[in-house]
Amino acid sequence: MSDGSSPPFPTIIPVGMIIINIILTTKKNNIMATTDEKVKQLFNTVQEKKLAIEKAEKPCWETGGSFGYSANSAHDRVDVKTVTDVRKTVDMYAFLIDRKEKSEKSATELGVDYKFTWLGFTIDEWKSDFQTRVNQISIQEKRKELAEIESRLNSIISPELKAQMELEAISALLDKAK
């Protein structure tokens, strides 16, 4: 046997070692499966957030965008679509909430049927536009965060999950092409 040839009898591995090896392999596979599930869930969350960003980039405005604190004067008008300070957007919405509450309270006290609008639009329409603008302002920051998260997820994804996700993407493209 000193010549490097194999021993005349096969090596016997104790049954206990085989069982331990099976248990460790099973645990490793279970950990991989749960890790892959979590990674896939996080990838799906990233995709949902990317869709929200796309929606904010192509907004559907509900008002004309011209907001002012005085209903009868055009000198203080601000285009909601160009506001760059989130706090200013919050202030404009707070102004509307205050006006709506006070107007509705006054109408109730006077016994008048009243529906609040400002410059021809409801508070919900203004809120939608303010929210759209806030989303637009924060897009760049969100894009950067999502790119970092996606990069980190790509670094830990298993080859099996990567192949599965690629197959799902290809399948989705083929379904669209029908």
What are the pLDDT digits (tens) for 105-119? 999 999 999 999 999
Higher pLDDT, 138 or 122: 122
Average pLDDT score, the chain:
84
| Beta-ladder partners of 121 | 118
What are the pLDDT digits (tens) for 45-60? 888 888 877 776 788 8
Q: Is the pLDDT of residue 26 over 90?
A: no
| pLDDT of amino acid 164 | 87
Q: What is the DSSP string of 27-76?
A: HHHHHHHHHHHHHHHHHHHHHHHHHHHHHHHS---SS-SEE-S-TT-STT
| pLDDT of amino acid 57 | 75
For residue 78, with 0-12 CB atoms within 10 Å meaning exposed, 13-18 middle and 19 or more buried, which class applies? middle
User: Which helix (H) or strand (E) is 123 found in, with range?
Assistant: helix 123-137
Q: Label residue 37 by pLDDT band (50, 70, 90).
A: confident
Q: Is the pLDDT of residue 13 over 60?
A: no
**In whole angstroms, what is the distance from residue 131 CA to residue 48 CA?**
18
User: Which helix (H) or strand (E) is 79 found in, with range?
Assistant: strand 78-79
Question: Quick check: 100 and 117 in contact, CB under 8 A?
Answer: no
Q: In the predicted model, what is the mean pLDDT of residues 33-45?
A: 82
174's tokens: 């083929």
What is the domain partition of the chain in residue ranges? 15-177
Q: In the predicted model, what is the mean pLDDT of residues 92-113?
A: 97
Q: In the predicted model, what is the mean pLDDT of residues 20-34?
A: 61
Full-prediction pTM beyond 0.85? no
| pLDDT of amino acid 92 | 97
Q: Is the pLDDT of residue 4 over 60?
A: no
